[in-house]
Chain A
Amino acid sequence: MKFGVIVFPGSNCDHDAFWAVSHSLGQKAELIWHDSQRLGDVDAVILPGGFAYGDYLRCGAIAKFSPVMQAVRKFAAEGGPVLGICNGFQILVEAGLLPGALIRNRGLKFICRPVSLEPGTLDSPFTCAAESGRAYRVPIAHGEGCYFADERTLDELEAEDRIAFRYLDNPNGSLRDIAGVLNRERNVMGMMPHPERASDPLTGSTDGLVVFESLLSRDRQGAVAF
C-alpha cells in the first residue's frame, strides 16, 4: 500500500506521518508538495499536523486554497481514503470535507499530553481494525482542538454513526467528547490526536497504529465500498 503525505508550507508532522507508515507499518510512502496538481498512484492520503501557512487567519483557512487540495477533493470524491491529523483535520474542516469547526481549547492553552480515546464506530476504513470499548492512548498537541458544531450536525453525526473517536478524558472541551469524525461517505476522517506519535514502542505507545492498520487491512481486502 502507498501513502501520500501532503506537505504544506508549515506542516511539521509530515516526516512523522511518513516515518510511521513507512517504518512502523512497513508500507510505501511519498511526500507530496502542496502545489502539486496530482497525487500520483497513492492509495491513501494523509494531511499531517503542523501549522500550515502559519495558521494565519484561521487554522487551515489558507491551506484549503492550496493547489493540492483540488486533487485531494477529487481523490476523496472517487472514494479514496483521506486522513487529516490535527492541523490536517482543521484543514479538512475548513475545506468543507468534514463538518464542524475546531476552536480554541477550553483552557485557552496549547496542550501536549497523551489522552485516552475510544473508537466511536468500527465501520470505517480508519477504525475497522480497532476493538470496540477499548481505550487507546494517543497524544494530543494542539491549541485549537475543541470540536464544535451545531446541535443538528452533532445529532446527525451520531445518528449516522460518524464519530470515529471519542475522548474518555476530554482535554479541550470538544462537544460530545468528539476527537475524530467521518464524512458521510466514510472515506474522509479527521482527528485531533496524533496516531503517528503512538506508532513506535520506543516513544511510549503503539496504540495509534490501529488507524494505519485499519487502512492497510481495508486495502488488502481490496475494498472500495466506502
Chain B
Amino acid sequence: MTATITPELIAQHQLTPEEYGKIVSILGREPSYTELGIFSVMWSEHCSYKSSRLHLKKLPTRGKLVVQGPGENAGIIDIGDGYVIAFKIESHNHPSFIEPFQGAATGVGGILRDIFTMGARPIAVLDSLRFGRLDDPETGARNRRILHGVVSGIAHYGNCFGVPTVGGECIFEKCYDGNPLVNVFALGVCRKEDVFYAKAAGIGNPVIYVGARTGRDGIHGASMASAEFTEESKQKRPNVQVGDPFLEKLLLEACLEAMQTGAIVGIQDMGAAGLTCSTCEMGSRGDVGIEIELDRVPQRESGMSPYEIMLSESQERMLLVADKGREDEVFRVFRKWGLDAVEIGKVTGDGKLRVKQHGQTVAEIPNRELADEAPLYDRPHTQPPRQTPIDPPALPDPDIPAALPALLASGDLCSKRWIWQQYDFQVRTNTLAGPGSDAAIIRIKETGTSVAVSLDGNGRYCYLSPREGARLAVAESCRNLSTVGATPVAATNCLNFGNPERPEIMAQLVEAIEGMSEACRFFETPITGGNVSLYNETLGEGIYPTPVIGIVGLLKTAPPVPAVFRNPDRSVVLLGGLGDSDAVRFGSSQYAKVILNRLWGLPPALDMDREKRVQTAIREIVQAGLAESAHDLSDGGLAVALAECTFGGECGAWIDLNSEMRPDWLLFHEAQSRILLTTAEPLKVADIAQKHGLEAPVLGITIEKDLAILQRGTMLGRWPIATLETAFEGALPSRLEAA
C-alpha cells in the first residue's frame, strides 16, 4: 500500500511534527506508510515511556538478589537453592473499558507470556482492579457490566491456562466510572541457568515465528492505550484483541520444552505492537539486524498489508532466534504441541529491521533508533491538582454500632469472595495462603522457600498527596508481607495516571515516582520492572493518580499464620500501638468516605523508620511461632481489622481500649505501622516489641461469638460476629446479583 504522508496522517498516528522530523532524519528520507505505522507504535507512550522514562530512572533497581532489572520482559530475583523467580505487573486498562471480557483476558495472557518468555513457568497471578461505583443511578449499570466482564475474562484465561489467581485488590471510586483499571501481576519460577533473554544474536541465525496466526485484530492497540477516551472510543472495539488461553497453554508447554533443547538463542513474546516490537527490540538488545519476509508469516486472513501484519496484536504469538542448523529440534517440539512454527527471516549484521513482502523491501529502519531512541520528554510539571479542602468539616457524633457493619458492607472493604471464587486459586497445589489473606503465599516445590506477594495502591491517599500515597503503598505492601512472616525483597510497579501533557497530572506522576523511589530504597525493595499507563481519562475527567505496587517477599515454607482468630482466651495484641490521627488525616479514611461521604485533608502520616521496626518485629514474632494469628491494620482502621479477624473462624474478641481519642477516630483512623495479633505468650511478644522500641498493648482477649469494643470500660459497640460477617459477605453479591 502506498499513501502520501500528510500532516493529517501523521497526526492520526499520534506523532507530533517534531517526532516526524526525527523519523525523517533517522531514515534520511520520508518514511513509507508501513514505516510510519511501525514508528507510531514503537514511539507510542505505551511502548516508549517517553513521558515517564526520565523520572523512572529515579527508581532503585539494584539489589543483591536482583538477577535482572528493568528492560527485559520481566524482572528476575534469586530465591536461592539454584532457583529464580520472574515477575511483573502490567495494565490493560483501555482495552478492558472498551471490551471488558477480552480486554481483561488478554491482559492476563500478555503478562503470562512476559513470564514464560523468560523461561519461567507461571505459578501465580494477582489482580489490582478499580471500578466505578456499582450503585450509581447513572453509571452503576455500566460499571457492574464492566466488573462482570473483567472478572469473567480473568477467570476464563487464568483458569484455562492453569495458573492460580491467588489475590489482589478491588476498589470502587467515582473517578473510575469512565476508566476502570485492570492491572495484572504474574510470577513464575525456573532454575537459574534456565533463564532466557529477549536478545537476538548470531548473524545468519534463523528467526522463527511460533503460535497463533496473525490477523487484523488489535492493530494500533498500543496507540489506543496512549490516548484519552472520547465518545468515539467504542468504535475502537476492533482494536481489542481476542484471547485463546488454550493456545497459550500449548505455547507455554512448547516454549519451555523447546528451551530445554538448548537450540534457542533468544525469545520474546509478541505483545503490544506485535511483530514490530519483538523484532526490533530483540535486534536492538543484541545489537544486530533482523530481516523478515512477511509472506512466510502465518496469516489468518488473506490480503493483509505489511502495515497490518507488522502492527497486528493478535495474541499467543512468540518470536525466537534459534541456532542455525538446529532449527529442526525446535520445530519438532512445536509440532508435538500442534503449533505453527515457521522460519520467517534471519539475524543480520547491519543493525536494521528489514521487512520484505513478496521479496520487496517494505520497511528498513535501524533497530536501535526505533526501539530505544524514541523522543524523551521532560514534560512540564507544576503542582498536583487539589479540589478538596485540607480543613475538616464539622464531624457529627458517631453512631459506632451502625458504623462498623456499614463499613464492612462498603465496596472497598467488603468481602471480594464473589470475585475470587470464580478464579481457580489452587491449581498447581502451591497456594499456602490465597485470596483474602494479607499476602498470598506460594510454595516453591523445588526448594524449601515460599514466595509471598501483595499488591497495594490507594488512589484516595495519592490524590491527597501523590508522594505520600506512593510511600504508603510501598509501606503497606511490605507490611502485608511481613505480617505473614516474609521478608520483602523486590517490587514491580504499575503507574496509572491521567494525561501527562497536563502539567498538574505530570506533577502527580513525578511526585508519586519520587515517593515510591524513596520508600523502595528505604525498604530495600528495588523495582525490577513494571508498566506505566497514562491517558487514563475519559472526556477530560482523569482518574485519581493510582500507582500500584506489587512486592514479593521470601519465607521458609511452613504452615501459614492466618489472619483469623483461632482460639478463645488468647491475648489480642496491637503491635505498634493505638496510633495517632488528627482531623486533617482522618479525611482520607474509609470512615470519611463511607460514613461521612467526604474527602478532605491528608493521607495518614508515615514514619518509615518506625514502620520498618514494626515489620522486623512481626517477622520475628511470626518466625518464633508466637503468633496464632496476625493481620495488618489498613483501610478502615482498628475496628475493621478486628472484625476481619473474626470472619471464617469461631472467635470474637473482648476489647477495651485505653485511650482518650474520640471513639470514631480511635476505631477507624488509619494510622500506619500497626499489626493485630493473637498469642498465648504475650510476655514474649512484649519482649520482642520492646527490643524494637515499640508499643504493643494487649487490647483484650479472644472470646466466642461476639466482638465487643469498649473504651476505658464504656461499651462502644457489641456485635455477634455472624451479623458482621453477613454484612461483609453479603455486600458484593447483593450489589451484583440483584441487578
Contacts and interface: CB of A to CB of B under 8 A. Distances in A.
Contacts of A109: 152, 421-422
A15 to B, nearest CB: 7
Nearest to A51: B160
A112 B426 contact: yes
Contact of B429 (A50, A53, A55, A197): A197
A20 interface: yes
Contact of A112 (B245, B246, B250, B424): B424
Interface string A41-64: 000000001110111100000000
Interface in A196-211: 196-197, 199-203
Interface in A109-136: 109-113
A213 interface: no
B428 interface: yes
A49 B245 CA distance: 15
A202 B427 contact: no
Interface string B395-425: 0000000000000000000000000111111
Contact of A141 (B245, B246, B426, B443): B426
A143 B421 CA distance: 11
B429 A16 contact: yes
A113 B422 CA distance: 9
A112 B425 contact: yes
Given A9-B337, A110-B155, A141-B424, A203 B249 contact: no
Given A9-B337, A51-B249, A201-B559, A110 B424 contact: yes
A202 B428 contact: no
Contacts of B106: none
Contacts of A50: 162
A27 B693 CA distance: 52
B443 A202 contact: yes
Secondary structure at the A interface, as helix, strand, loop or mixed, is mixed
A110 B159 contact: yes
A54 B245 contact: yes
Interface in A90-124: 109-113
B430 A203 contact: yes
A10 interface: yes
B82 interface: no
Point out which of A15, A112, A196, A200 has the most chain B C-beta atoms below 10 A from its C-beta.
Answer: A112
Contacts of A200: 429
B557 interface: yes
A203 B426 contact: yes
Contacts of A4: none
Interface in B207-258: 244-247, 249-250
Interface in A148-197: 194, 196-197
A10 B445 contact: no
A203 B431 CA distance: 6
Interface string B139-167: 00000000000001001000111100000
B432 A141 contact: no
A139 interface: yes
A54 B244 contact: yes
A70 interface: no
B426 A139 contact: yes
Contact of B422 (A15, A56, A112): A112
B137 to A, nearest CB: 26
Contact of A55 (B160, B422, B558): B160
Nearest to A199: B429
Contacts of B421: 109, 111-113
Contacts of A54: 160, 244-247
A84 to B, nearest CB: 17
A13 B56 CA distance: 40
A110 B558 CA distance: 30
Contact of A10 (B250, B429, B432): B250
B389 interface: no
A9 B420 CA distance: 26
B249 A10 contact: yes
B540 interface: no
A66 interface: no
Contact of A9 (B159, B250, B428, B443): B250
Interface string B57-70: 00000000000000
B246 A51 contact: yes
A197 B427 CA distance: 8
A201 B558 CA distance: 10
A224 B425 CA distance: 38
Contacts of B246: 9-10, 51, 53-56
Nearest to B160: A51
B21 interface: no
Contacts of B430: 203
B428 A141 contact: no
17 contacts: A9-B249, A19-B445, A51-B245, A51-B249, A53-B246, A54-B247, A55-B246, A109-B421, A110-B155, A111-B421, A112-B422, A112-B426, A141-B426, A200-B429, A202-B558, A203-B426, A203-B429
Given A51-B159, A109-B152, A113-B421, 13 more contacts: A10-B250, A51-B162, A51-B245, A55-B160, A110-B423, A111-B422, A112-B420, A112-B421, A112-B422, A112-B424, A141-B427, A197-B429, A202-B557
Top 10 closest pairs, chain A to chain B, by CB: A12-B162, A54-B246, A51-B160, A141-B424, A16-B429, A110-B422, A112-B424, A10-B246, A110-B155, A197-B426
